[in-house]
């Protein structure tokens, strides 16, 4: 009964949705069930809402997502799309949004860098433990935490570790330094910064950081497009959190269609109410 009411409300809302110009959108994935079942979420970055949802994250499902969520006129007006480096998303933007730039989300990039720091830490901690050195034992979250959010005790321990100039500390510093890339004022500034940063991590033989660097080189166009458009998937990540709340309260969804209706009902910013009778 409740789902039927929501379904009719969403149907009304979608039929009333105005064909407004949308400059920036985000595409992000969200797990639907265990076993690598995903949904793809198209969001309006400026309006902070979900435009539509599709099941899966393949090229065909991503194309279906754009076709459901945007008219041909709207597609022609999209200037940029914020996303991770998932190939299907990149391919569908190039195919279906002819005037749009791919912008790789800076928060996903920082996550890749954080993962490289953690891999470095685990590798070095294993080597140190073999000589009974427990310096890096139980330090995972210390290296993932922002210094300004550390307690006094954590800050003291972190400074002591940093003074040892371990490989992990060098990787952490490289990760922190990379954040300056996003402050670049011009494309040339960004290119120069990246070249210097990459040269530094190669000189230091930071293996896991170099792997991320090579990935960024392979996706340099989407990386540099951030400087022009300055958009991120922060709204998409916020919406993902809200989608998780919907899933948790409902204790999961057996069918994708039911999940989509619930997402659009709560997060689509649709005009859901029946027209008042005169």
* pLDDT tens readout for residues 175-184: 999 999 999 9
Whether 165 and 199 map to the same domain: the answer is: yes
Whether 188 and 96 map to the same domain: the answer is: no
203-222 pLDDT, tens digit per residue, is: 999 999 999 999 999 999 99
Residue-range definition of the domain harbouring residue 254: 2-105+232-267
Whether 30 and 119 map to the same domain: the answer is: no
CB 97 within 8 A of CB 78: yes
Q: Distance from first CA to last CA of the chain, Å, rounded?
A: 27
User: What average pLDDT does range 248-269 have in this prediction?
Assistant: 88
Rg of the chain, C-alpha, whole Å = 22
Instruction: Give the pairing type, strands 49-55 and 37-44.
Output: antiparallel
Let me know if residue 274 belongs to a domain.
Answer: no
User: What average pLDDT does range 6-18 have in this prediction?
Assistant: 94
User: What average pLDDT does range 125-149 have in this prediction?
Assistant: 95
Whether 12 and 101 map to the same domain: the answer is: yes
Task: Give CA–CA dist 199/197, Å, rounded.
Answer: 5
Let me know if residue 197 belongs to a domain.
Answer: yes
Let me know if residue 59 belongs to a domain.
Answer: yes
Domain CATH number, residue 101: 3.30.420.10
Asked whether residue 253 carries a pLDDT value surpassing 80, the answer given is no
Whether 115 and 218 map to the same domain: the answer is: yes
31-87 pLDDT, tens digit per residue, is: 887 666 899 999 999 999 999 999 999 999 999 999 999 999 999 999 999 999 999
Asked whether residue 278 carries a pLDDT value surpassing 60, the answer given is no
- Tokens 């991503």 found at: 62
Task: Give CA–CA dist 55/257, Å, rounded.
Answer: 9
- Tokens 């409740």 found at: 2
User: What average pLDDT does range 212-240 have in this prediction?
Assistant: 97
CB atoms closer than 10 angstroms to residue 272: 19
Whether 41 and 62 map to the same domain: the answer is: yes
Task: Give CA–CA dist 103/157, Å, rounded.
Answer: 37
């Amino acid at each position: 009964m409740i789902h039927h009411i929501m379904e009719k409300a969403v149907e009304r809302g979608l039929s009333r949705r105005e064909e407004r110009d949308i400059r920036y959108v985000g595409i992000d994935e969200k797990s639907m069930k265990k076993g690598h079942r995903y949904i793809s979420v198209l969001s309006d970055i400026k309006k902070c809402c979900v435009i539509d949802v599709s099941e899966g994250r393949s090229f065909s499902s991503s194309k279906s997502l754009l076709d459901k969520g945007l008219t041909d006129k709207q597609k022609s007006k999209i200037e940029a799309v914020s996303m991770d480096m998932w190939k299907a998303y990149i391919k569908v933007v190039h195919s279906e949004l002819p005037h749009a730039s791919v912008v790789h989300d800076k928060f996903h990039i920082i996550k890749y860098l954080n993962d490289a720091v953690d891999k470095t830490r685990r590798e070095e901690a294993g080597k140190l433990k073999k000589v009974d050195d427990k310096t890096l034992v139980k330090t995972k979250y210390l290296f993932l935490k922002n210094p300004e959010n550390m307690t006094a005790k954590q800050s003291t321990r972190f400074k002591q570790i940093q003074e040892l100039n371990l490989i992990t500390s060098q990787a952490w510093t490289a990760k922190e330094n990379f954040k300056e890339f996003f402050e670049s004022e011009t494309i040339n500034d960004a290119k120069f910064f990246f070249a210097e940063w990459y040269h530094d991590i190669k000189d230091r033989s930071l293996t896991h950081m170099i792997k991320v660097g090579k990935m960024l080189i392979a996706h340099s166009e989407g990386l540099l497009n951030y400087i022009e458009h300055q958009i991120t998937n922060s709204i998409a990540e916020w919406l993902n959190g809200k989608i998780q709340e919907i899933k948790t309260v409902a204790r999961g969804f057996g069918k994708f269609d039911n999940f989509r209706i619930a997402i659009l009902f709560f997060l689509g910013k649709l005009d859901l109410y029946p027209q008042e009778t005169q």
